[in-house]
Amino acid sequence: MGMQTQVAIIGGGPSGLLMSQILQLNGIDNVILERQTRDYVLGRVRAGIIEQGTIDLLRSADVADRMNRDGLVHEGIDIAFAGERQRVDLHKYSGGKTVMVYGQTEITEDLYEARDKMVGKILHEVSDVELHEVTSQNPYVTFKHENQEKRLDCQFIAGCDGFHGVSRATFPCSILKTYERVYPFAWLGLLSETPPISDELIYVNHKNGFALCSMRSETRSRYYLQVPVGTDVNDWPDERFWEELKVRLPDQTANELITGPSIENAVAPLRSFVAEPLSHGRLFLVGDAGHIVPPTGAKGLNLAASDVYYLSRALLEFFQSGDETALKGYSNRALQRIWKAVRFSWWMTLMLHKFPDDGEFGEKIQQTELEYLFSSEAALSVLAENYVGLPLD
């Protein structure tokens, strides 16, 4: 069975949905092919810190009503070390910029609602996806859907299918180069229906390991502990998690912690990963298909959004004028911003986590790094500028 569209989008997570929404708003026909069910996609719990550039992009895509109403604007973060908390005034040191707490799950729900209103074409539970003739003027995708073999002819393919997807695997080994750093620890996360310990996030450097106090809303909290790779979530009942979190927090902060039963627990490994290039013929990688960052810098979803920004604008330019210049420059342009975010996420991870093999020297360097950070307005400006998000243009 044959189908035809202008842009085939592989993957129906937030980057694929946002790409689809922007393209259709601008009159460009597209089809999303998603391996999972809609409920599965909506059930993924992911990061919740979004930059101004992502906020602006969601607003321009007409999917921001609930975000504008429910999103929590944050003007700073706290960093705790040596038993004390110190605040980084993001608003002050970034020239008036802020970030917003609004969960990826909520963004995905908003995007699905918008796609439904526009009768967007999304095929779920698609399997056996293969990309063909991506270096030609007429690439196409074959797949299985509802027990039928199908073909989707298109002009371009946006690979928004994540780290394990088929899009990056389609690149020839001869042109694809990957860069990776796997970190020697993981994050154990706990989600609870409890009010957050603080109005802003608290990043913690402690001799037992990193901790993070975050939130999803004014009534739902998300906490993380650094744990060894291979940790079994079943070895961490709620009581053990809360007790260890209190140990890592400054005493006064620990006394303010409101605990409760968890509604989700998970262990996530940390890695930095970048693939180059992000384009091959008329196939383009977007989001996790091309790069992964540790969550310490809150960049994952925001980097995917910036990829969508660059690629959607390049596609609009092509369909409006026939000019492929921006499409040919997509990979280089996106990678410039990606590597800066990878550097920042690596630096934040290095500064805040306990590295098993670094010993006392490493601890002294971390302590000095943190002390220097709060003694230098220039250093605080560098952190704030990167945390709120570097300019898209």
Q: Which residue has the tokens 């063909």?
A: 132
- Residue 275's DSSP bridge partners are 178
Check if 206 is active-site.
no
Residue 1 Cα to chain centre, angstroms:
35
- Contact (CB, 8 A) for 205 and 374: no
- Give whole-number Cα distances, 292 to 68, 158, 230, 303, in Å: 28, 17, 20, 9
- Candidate list 74, 145, 280, 353, residue with the active-site label: 74
Q: Which residue has the tokens 């509802």?
A: 146
| 83-86-89 Cα angle (round to 5) | 165
- Candidate list 140, 224, 310, 387, residue with the active-site label: 387
- Candidate list 93, 112, 183, 203, residue with the active-site label: 203
Check if 164 is active-site.
no
In 3D space, the residue among 316, 326, 330 whose CA is nearest the CA of residue 277 turns out to be 330
- Candidate list 102, 140, 295, 330, residue with the active-site label: 295
- Candidate list 291, 299, 309, 310, residue with the active-site label: 299
Three-state SS for 124? Answer: coil
In 3D space, the residue among 315, 312, 307 whose CA is nearest the CA of residue 333 turns out to be 307
Listed as own residue / partner, the contacts of 254-263 with beta carbons closer than 8 Å and 24 or more positions apart are 256/197, 256/198, 257/197, 258/194, 258/195, 258/197, 259/192, 259/194, 260/192, 260/193, 260/194, 261/192, 261/193, 262/190, 262/191, 262/192, 262/238, 263/191, 263/192, 263/193
Omega prior to 277 cis, within 30 of 0: yes
Check if 150 is active-site.
no
- Positive or negative, the Cα torsion across 214, 216, 220, 224? negative
Q: Which residues contact 192 (CB under 8 A, 6 or more apart)?
A: 220, 221, 223, 259, 260, 261, 262, 263
Check if 203 is active-site.
yes
| Number of alpha carbons in the 13 Å side-chain half-sphere of residue 245 | 29
Please provide the DSSP assignment of 41-106 as one string.
HHH-----EE-HHHHHHHHHTT--HHHHHH-EEE-EEEEEETTEEEEEEHHHHTTS--EEE--HHH
Check if 387 is active-site.
yes
Active site residues per annotation:
74, 203, 295, 299, 387
